[in-house]
Structure 1
Amino acid sequence: LKPGDYYFVETAAPAGYELNDSKLNFTVELQTTTKVATVAATNAEKTGSVVLNKTDSDTGKTLSGAVFDLYKKDGTKVASDLTTDAKGQIQVNDLKPGDYYFIETAAPAGYELNDSKLNFTVEFQATTKVATVAATNAEKTGSVVLNKT
Protein backbone atom coordinates (compact mmCIF):
# COMPACT_ATOMS: atom_id res chain seq x y z
CA LEU A 1 0.00 0.00 0.00
CA LYS A 2 1.21 3.49 -0.83
CA PRO A 3 1.61 5.91 2.10
CA GLY A 4 -1.73 7.38 3.13
CA ASP A 5 -4.85 6.94 5.23
CA TYR A 6 -7.01 3.82 4.75
CA TYR A 7 -9.81 1.96 6.50
CA PHE A 8 -11.29 -1.54 6.63
CA VAL A 9 -15.05 -2.18 6.71
CA GLU A 10 -16.30 -5.66 7.60
CA THR A 11 -18.81 -6.92 5.01
CA ALA A 12 -19.51 -10.39 6.45
CA ALA A 13 -19.11 -11.60 10.04
CA PRO A 14 -18.03 -15.13 11.02
CA ALA A 15 -20.92 -17.54 11.64
CA GLY A 16 -22.55 -16.84 14.98
CA TYR A 17 -21.23 -13.30 15.32
CA GLU A 18 -22.74 -9.85 14.81
CA LEU A 19 -21.45 -7.76 11.89
CA ASN A 20 -19.12 -4.97 13.05
CA ASP A 21 -19.47 -2.41 10.24
CA SER A 22 -17.53 0.41 11.92
CA LYS A 23 -14.64 1.97 9.97
CA LEU A 24 -11.27 0.63 11.13
CA ASN A 25 -8.86 3.43 10.25
CA PHE A 26 -5.12 3.05 9.79
CA THR A 27 -2.27 4.93 8.20
CA VAL A 28 0.57 3.64 6.04
CA GLU A 29 3.51 5.90 6.78
CA LEU A 30 6.34 6.88 4.47
CA GLN A 31 8.67 3.88 4.59
CA THR A 32 12.13 5.14 5.53
CA THR A 33 12.28 1.93 7.58
CA THR A 34 9.81 -0.91 7.09
CA LYS A 35 6.76 -0.49 9.31
CA VAL A 36 3.57 -2.55 9.31
CA ALA A 37 0.37 -0.81 10.34
CA THR A 38 -1.90 -2.96 12.54
CA VAL A 39 -5.62 -2.78 13.10
CA ALA A 40 -7.67 -4.66 15.74
CA ALA A 41 -11.25 -5.70 15.01
CA THR A 42 -13.72 -7.39 17.35
CA ASN A 43 -17.10 -9.06 16.96
CA ALA A 44 -19.74 -9.82 19.60
CA GLU A 45 -21.32 -13.27 19.67
CA LYS A 46 -24.92 -13.34 18.50
CA THR A 47 -27.29 -13.62 21.43
CA GLY A 48 -30.04 -16.21 21.76
CA SER A 49 -33.40 -16.56 23.48
CA VAL A 50 -35.19 -18.95 25.80
CA VAL A 51 -38.89 -19.67 26.27
CA LEU A 52 -40.15 -21.31 29.48
CA ASN A 53 -43.55 -23.05 29.29
CA LYS A 54 -45.36 -23.51 32.62
CA THR A 55 -48.08 -26.18 32.90
CA ASP A 56 -50.16 -28.16 35.40
CA SER A 57 -48.42 -31.51 35.90
CA ASP A 58 -51.71 -33.44 35.77
CA THR A 59 -53.82 -31.70 33.14
CA GLY A 60 -51.18 -29.98 31.00
CA LYS A 61 -53.13 -26.70 31.35
CA THR A 62 -50.91 -23.61 30.95
CA LEU A 63 -50.30 -21.67 34.18
CA SER A 64 -49.90 -17.92 34.45
CA GLY A 65 -48.57 -16.15 37.52
CA ALA A 66 -45.57 -18.39 38.27
CA VAL A 67 -42.50 -16.31 39.17
CA PHE A 68 -38.92 -17.30 38.28
CA ASP A 69 -35.36 -16.06 38.66
CA LEU A 70 -32.81 -16.73 35.90
CA TYR A 71 -29.19 -17.62 36.67
CA LYS A 72 -25.99 -18.39 34.80
CA LYS A 73 -24.56 -21.85 35.48
CA ASP A 74 -22.05 -20.33 37.92
CA GLY A 75 -24.90 -18.97 40.09
CA THR A 76 -24.79 -15.35 38.85
CA LYS A 77 -28.34 -13.94 38.78
CA VAL A 78 -29.27 -12.70 35.29
CA ALA A 79 -32.90 -11.67 35.91
CA SER A 80 -35.44 -11.89 38.72
CA ASP A 81 -39.22 -11.70 39.15
CA LEU A 82 -39.95 -13.08 35.68
CA THR A 83 -43.66 -13.97 35.65
CA THR A 84 -45.45 -16.36 33.28
CA ASP A 85 -47.98 -14.61 31.04
CA ALA A 86 -51.53 -15.66 30.09
CA LYS A 87 -50.03 -18.35 27.79
CA GLY A 88 -47.95 -19.73 30.69
CA GLN A 89 -44.73 -18.47 29.10
CA ILE A 90 -41.67 -16.43 29.91
CA GLN A 91 -39.40 -15.35 27.05
CA VAL A 92 -35.92 -13.95 27.70
CA ASN A 93 -33.89 -12.50 24.82
CA ASP A 94 -30.30 -11.28 24.41
CA LEU A 95 -28.65 -14.19 26.22
CA LYS A 96 -25.04 -14.94 25.30
CA PRO A 97 -24.24 -18.57 24.45
CA GLY A 98 -23.78 -20.64 27.61
CA ASP A 99 -25.48 -22.68 30.33
CA TYR A 100 -28.28 -21.21 32.45
CA TYR A 101 -31.07 -22.28 34.80
CA PHE A 102 -34.45 -21.04 36.04
CA ILE A 103 -35.62 -21.41 39.66
CA GLU A 104 -39.26 -20.89 40.57
CA THR A 105 -39.66 -18.39 43.43
CA ALA A 106 -43.48 -18.25 43.60
CA ALA A 107 -46.03 -20.79 42.36
CA PRO A 108 -49.40 -19.85 40.84
CA ALA A 109 -52.24 -19.67 43.39
CA GLY A 110 -53.34 -23.17 44.43
CA TYR A 111 -50.15 -24.89 43.27
CA GLU A 112 -47.11 -26.31 45.04
CA LEU A 113 -43.77 -24.54 44.53
CA ASN A 114 -41.45 -26.49 42.22
CA ASP A 115 -38.01 -25.19 43.21
CA SER A 116 -35.90 -27.61 41.16
CA LYS A 117 -33.27 -26.14 38.83
CA LEU A 118 -34.52 -26.00 35.25
CA ASN A 119 -31.30 -26.17 33.22
CA PHE A 120 -30.95 -25.08 29.60
CA THR A 121 -28.24 -24.07 27.16
CA VAL A 122 -28.18 -21.14 24.76
CA GLU A 123 -26.29 -22.53 21.80
CA PHE A 124 -23.83 -20.69 19.59
CA GLN A 125 -26.10 -18.86 17.13
CA ALA A 126 -24.84 -19.83 13.67
CA THR A 127 -28.55 -19.97 12.83
CA THR A 128 -31.18 -18.56 15.17
CA LYS A 129 -32.31 -21.14 17.76
CA VAL A 130 -34.59 -20.60 20.74
CA ALA A 131 -33.99 -22.79 23.79
CA THR A 132 -37.16 -24.13 25.43
CA VAL A 133 -37.75 -25.14 29.03
CA ALA A 134 -40.76 -27.09 30.35
CA ALA A 135 -41.84 -26.50 33.96
CA THR A 136 -44.74 -28.11 35.82
CA ASN A 137 -46.57 -27.59 39.11
CA ALA A 138 -48.79 -30.03 41.01
CA GLU A 139 -52.07 -28.69 42.38
CA LYS A 140 -52.23 -28.44 46.16
CA THR A 141 -54.28 -31.26 47.58
CA GLY A 142 -56.95 -31.00 50.28
CA SER A 143 -58.48 -33.36 52.84
CA VAL A 144 -61.96 -34.54 53.72
CA VAL A 145 -63.36 -35.97 56.96
CA LEU A 146 -66.58 -38.03 56.94
CA ASN A 147 -68.48 -38.28 60.23
CA LYS A 148 -70.98 -41.19 60.25
CA THR A 149 -73.65 -40.98 62.88
Structure 2
Amino acid sequence: MTIFKFLFRKSDLECPRCLGKTFVDWDDIKRLNRQLKWVPAPCAYCLGTGKVTKEMITNVPVDYTYLTIDLPESEMDKIKEGNEETLEKGRLHDLFLDDLIKYADHHYSINNMDATSIADLYLNTEDKTALFSLERKNLIQFIEKVIEIKRTN
Protein backbone atom coordinates (compact mmCIF):
# COMPACT_ATOMS: atom_id res chain seq x y z
CA MET A 1 0.00 0.00 0.00
CA THR A 2 1.41 3.40 -0.93
CA ILE A 3 1.84 6.09 1.71
CA PHE A 4 -0.81 8.17 -0.08
CA LYS A 5 -3.42 5.42 0.13
CA PHE A 6 -2.47 4.74 3.74
CA LEU A 7 -2.88 8.38 4.77
CA PHE A 8 -6.15 8.99 2.95
CA ARG A 9 -7.96 5.70 3.30
CA LYS A 10 -11.06 5.56 5.43
CA SER A 11 -10.60 3.33 8.40
CA ASP A 12 -13.10 0.53 8.03
CA LEU A 13 -14.41 -0.88 11.27
CA GLU A 14 -16.50 -3.96 11.91
CA CYS A 15 -20.15 -3.08 11.46
CA PRO A 16 -21.76 -2.76 14.90
CA ARG A 17 -25.21 -3.62 13.53
CA CYS A 18 -24.48 -7.00 11.91
CA LEU A 19 -21.17 -7.56 13.77
CA GLY A 20 -19.36 -7.92 10.45
CA LYS A 21 -21.38 -10.86 9.14
CA THR A 22 -23.14 -8.69 6.47
CA PHE A 23 -26.62 -9.85 7.50
CA VAL A 24 -28.83 -8.73 10.39
CA ASP A 25 -30.32 -11.82 12.01
CA TRP A 26 -32.80 -12.34 14.88
CA ASP A 27 -29.97 -12.23 17.43
CA ASP A 28 -28.91 -8.79 16.16
CA ILE A 29 -32.50 -7.60 16.16
CA LYS A 30 -32.93 -8.68 19.79
CA ARG A 31 -29.53 -7.23 20.78
CA LEU A 32 -30.49 -3.87 19.28
CA ASN A 33 -34.05 -4.05 20.67
CA ARG A 34 -35.67 -3.74 17.25
CA GLN A 35 -38.18 -6.61 17.49
CA LEU A 36 -41.31 -5.73 15.50
CA LYS A 37 -39.37 -3.02 13.69
CA TRP A 38 -36.92 -5.08 11.64
CA VAL A 39 -36.80 -8.51 10.06
CA PRO A 40 -33.67 -10.47 9.14
CA ALA A 41 -32.14 -9.01 5.99
CA PRO A 42 -28.85 -7.84 4.48
CA CYS A 43 -27.40 -5.12 6.69
CA ALA A 44 -28.34 -1.60 5.60
CA TYR A 45 -25.82 -0.02 7.95
CA CYS A 46 -22.80 -1.46 6.12
CA LEU A 47 -24.67 -2.25 2.87
CA GLY A 48 -23.78 -5.89 3.31
CA THR A 49 -20.02 -5.39 3.43
CA GLY A 50 -19.49 -6.01 7.13
CA LYS A 51 -17.42 -2.81 7.40
CA VAL A 52 -18.29 0.82 8.17
CA THR A 53 -16.39 4.05 8.60
CA LYS A 54 -15.95 6.01 11.81
CA GLU A 55 -18.07 8.73 10.24
CA MET A 56 -20.97 6.32 9.80
CA ILE A 57 -20.82 5.31 13.44
CA THR A 58 -20.61 8.95 14.49
CA ASN A 59 -23.43 10.19 12.24
CA VAL A 60 -25.99 7.37 12.35
CA PRO A 61 -27.02 5.44 15.47
CA VAL A 62 -26.54 1.70 14.92
CA ASP A 63 -30.14 1.03 15.97
CA TYR A 64 -31.68 3.74 13.77
CA THR A 65 -34.98 2.06 12.88
CA TYR A 66 -35.63 3.79 9.57
CA LEU A 67 -32.33 2.74 7.95
CA THR A 68 -33.33 -0.56 6.36
CA ILE A 69 -32.25 -2.33 3.21
CA ASP A 70 -35.60 -1.72 1.48
CA LEU A 71 -35.14 2.06 1.39
CA PRO A 72 -34.14 3.69 -1.88
CA GLU A 73 -30.41 4.34 -2.04
CA SER A 74 -31.02 8.09 -2.24
CA GLU A 75 -32.94 7.96 1.07
CA MET A 76 -30.16 5.91 2.66
CA ASP A 77 -27.59 8.47 1.50
CA LYS A 78 -29.62 11.30 3.05
CA ILE A 79 -29.66 9.49 6.38
CA LYS A 80 -25.90 8.93 6.24
CA GLU A 81 -25.35 12.59 5.34
CA GLY A 82 -27.47 13.72 8.30
CA ASN A 83 -30.23 15.33 6.23
CA GLU A 84 -32.54 16.78 8.91
CA GLU A 85 -35.74 16.28 6.93
CA THR A 86 -34.96 12.62 6.32
CA LEU A 87 -33.86 12.07 9.92
CA GLU A 88 -37.14 13.61 11.10
CA LYS A 89 -39.05 11.30 8.76
CA GLY A 90 -37.18 8.43 10.40
CA ARG A 91 -38.10 9.64 13.89
CA LEU A 92 -41.74 9.88 12.83
CA HIS A 93 -41.59 6.36 11.36
CA ASP A 94 -40.24 5.05 14.66
CA LEU A 95 -43.04 6.84 16.58
CA PHE A 96 -45.59 5.40 14.14
CA LEU A 97 -44.36 1.88 14.85
CA ASP A 98 -44.27 2.49 18.62
CA ASP A 99 -47.85 3.79 18.55
CA LEU A 100 -49.02 0.91 16.39
CA ILE A 101 -47.45 -1.59 18.80
CA LYS A 102 -49.17 0.12 21.75
CA TYR A 103 -52.48 0.21 19.85
CA ALA A 104 -52.33 -3.50 19.05
CA ASP A 105 -51.19 -4.42 22.54
CA HIS A 106 -53.99 -2.37 24.12
CA HIS A 107 -56.76 -3.87 22.00
CA TYR A 108 -55.39 -7.38 22.50
CA SER A 109 -54.84 -7.06 26.26
CA ILE A 110 -57.78 -4.88 27.29
CA ASN A 111 -60.44 -5.67 24.69
CA ASN A 112 -59.39 -9.28 24.00
CA MET A 113 -59.44 -8.66 20.24
CA ASP A 114 -57.68 -10.81 17.64
CA ALA A 115 -55.27 -9.52 15.00
CA THR A 116 -57.86 -9.28 12.21
CA SER A 117 -60.32 -7.33 14.38
CA ILE A 118 -57.59 -4.96 15.55
CA ALA A 119 -56.41 -4.39 11.98
CA ASP A 120 -59.95 -3.70 10.75
CA LEU A 121 -60.57 -1.24 13.59
CA TYR A 122 -57.28 0.50 12.89
CA LEU A 123 -57.92 0.74 9.15
CA ASN A 124 -61.42 2.17 9.77
CA THR A 125 -59.94 4.99 11.83
CA GLU A 126 -56.70 5.58 9.92
CA ASP A 127 -56.31 8.96 8.27
CA LYS A 128 -56.24 8.44 4.51
CA THR A 129 -53.41 10.97 4.21
CA ALA A 130 -51.25 9.35 6.91
CA LEU A 131 -47.53 9.61 6.34
CA PHE A 132 -47.05 5.91 7.08
CA SER A 133 -49.48 3.08 6.55
CA LEU A 134 -49.59 -0.67 6.07
CA GLU A 135 -51.63 -2.81 3.74
CA ARG A 136 -54.25 -4.90 5.54
CA LYS A 137 -52.40 -8.19 5.04
CA ASN A 138 -49.12 -6.76 6.35
CA LEU A 139 -50.91 -5.01 9.19
CA ILE A 140 -52.52 -8.27 10.32
CA GLN A 141 -49.13 -10.03 10.21
CA PHE A 142 -47.57 -7.20 12.21
CA ILE A 143 -50.32 -7.33 14.84
CA GLU A 144 -49.98 -11.12 15.05
CA LYS A 145 -46.30 -10.61 15.88
CA VAL A 146 -47.21 -8.05 18.59
CA ILE A 147 -49.64 -10.57 20.10
CA GLU A 148 -47.09 -13.40 19.85
CA ILE A 149 -44.49 -11.34 21.73
CA LYS A 150 -47.11 -10.28 24.29
CA ARG A 151 -48.01 -13.94 24.93
CA THR A 152 -44.37 -14.99 25.40
CA ASN A 153 -43.62 -12.17 27.87
Higher strand proportion: 1
TM over 0.5: no
TM-score by length of 2: 0.27
- Please say which structure displays the higher CA radius of gyration: 1
TM-score by length of 1: 0.27
- Report which structure shows greater RCO (CA 8 Å, sep ≥6): 1
Higher helix proportion: 2
